[in-house]
Amino acid sequence: KQEVTQIPAALSVPEGENLVLNCSFTDSAIYNLQWFRQDPGKGLTSLLLIQSSQREQTSGRLNASLDKSSGRSTLYIAASQPGDSATYLCASDSNYQLIWGAGTKLIIKP
Amino acid sequence: NAGVMQNPRHLVRRRGQEARLRCSPMKGHSHVYWYRQLPEEGLKFMVYLQKENIIDESGMPKERFSAEFPKEGPSILRIQQVVRGDSAAYFCASSPRAREGEQYFGPGTRLTVT
């Protein structure tokens, strides 16, 4: 049974820092891995999707990597801004079901 | 191309009433998924449907919950005789195919049971 873990659960950093959010999964037989952003009381914004055959994806200041063999994905945020404050969720697609991590709550201090 | 639409966005029901949540997938998408996010908890898969078929309902509570995706019209998640523990955000997603495809999410319906 797939389990997805995100570390850290919360992170507070000053504006401008580069940071890494971690996501690990127990079953490497995944079709893809997605990163989402969720603002308080709001919906889900898809950030990046990495197919199982890919190693990384980039969008603006965001870069996500995938290492299936070690069961890990990272989300790298460059030059963080206060507007990046949100909860970041990763989800593995193992068989059309998305299995979700509990999220990392990120606070960027001005 | 409109995104996934969910309505209502907010729904308040008293204990014992029925709640009906609607989801219109993106145009051309025939696969629909429902997820639930309980307060202070992570998202959990509930059910996966294709047109007129329930493919996997392993995440659905055995009682009071049902889902459908008719040939015409939106997908419906129905909760009968709601209880306070049903208060949550319910998200719907759609995809053009079942595997290796991105799931596109709607804005969610926030159900509050009083």
Which among B19, B38, B28, B14 is positioned nearest to B77, based on CA atoms?
B19
pLDDT at residue number B2: 74
Q: What is the distance between the alpha carbons of residues B73 and B63, in angstroms, rounded to a whole number?
A: 24
| Cross-chain Cβ contact A34/B102 below 8 Å | yes
* B99 confidence band (pLDDT: 50, 70, 90): low
pLDDT at residue number A96: 77
- For range B55-78, the mean pLDDT: 95
In a mutagenesis test of the B interface, which of A96, A99, A104, A105 is the best target, namely the one with the most B β-carbons within 10 Å?
A96
Does residue A101 belong to the interface with chain B, where contact is any CB pair within 8 Å? yes
| Cross-chain Cβ contact B45/A99 below 8 Å | yes
Using DSSP, state whether B70 is helix, strand or coil: coil
B19 alpha-carbon distance from chain centroid: 11
Does residue A59 belong to the interface with chain B, where contact is any CB pair within 8 Å? no
pLDDT 10s digits, B22-51: 999 999 899 999 999 998 888 999 999 998
Beta-strand relationship, B109-113 and B10-13: parallel
A102 alpha-carbon distance from chain centroid: 11
pLDDT at residue number B1: 56
Using DSSP, state whether A23 is helix, strand or coil: strand
In a mutagenesis test of the B interface, which of A68, A97, A104 is the best target, namely the one with the most B β-carbons within 10 Å?
A97
Q: What is the residue-averaged pLDDT of chain B?
A: 93
CB-nearest to A102 from B42, B55, B105 is B42
Is residue A73 classed exposed, middle or buried when 0-12, 13-18 and 19+ CB atoms within 10 A define those classes?
buried
Q: At residue A56, does pLDDT exceed 60? A: yes
Residue A8 structure tokens: 């850290």
| Cross-chain Cβ contact B99/A89 below 8 Å | no
Q: What is the distance between the alpha carbons of residues A99 and B11, in angstroms, rounded to a whole number?
A: 26
pLDDT 10s digits, A62-107: 999 999 999 999 999 999 999 999 999 999 987 778 999 999 999 9
- For range B93-111, the mean pLDDT: 86
Q: Phi and psi dihedrals of B64, rounded to 5?
A: 75, -20
Torsion sign (Cα): B97, B98, B100, B102: positive
Beta-strand relationship, B88-95 and B104-105: antiparallel
Write out chain A residues lying below 8 Å of B48, CB-based: 96-97
Does residue A93 belong to the interface with chain B, where contact is any CB pair within 8 Å? yes
CB-nearest to A103 from B33, B42, B93 is B42
Using DSSP, state whether A61 is helix, strand or coil: coil
pLDDT 10s digits, A26-44: 998 888 999 999 998 888 9
Does residue A2 belong to the interface with chain B, where contact is any CB pair within 8 Å? no
Q: How many CA atoms lie within 13 A of B72 on its CB side?
A: 0
Does residue A5 belong to the interface with chain B, where contact is any CB pair within 8 Å? no
Residue B80 structure tokens: 């009968």
Q: What is the residue-averaged pLDDT of chain A?
A: 94
Q: At residue B4, does pLDDT exceed 60? A: yes
CB-nearest to B102 from A42, A46, A100 is A46
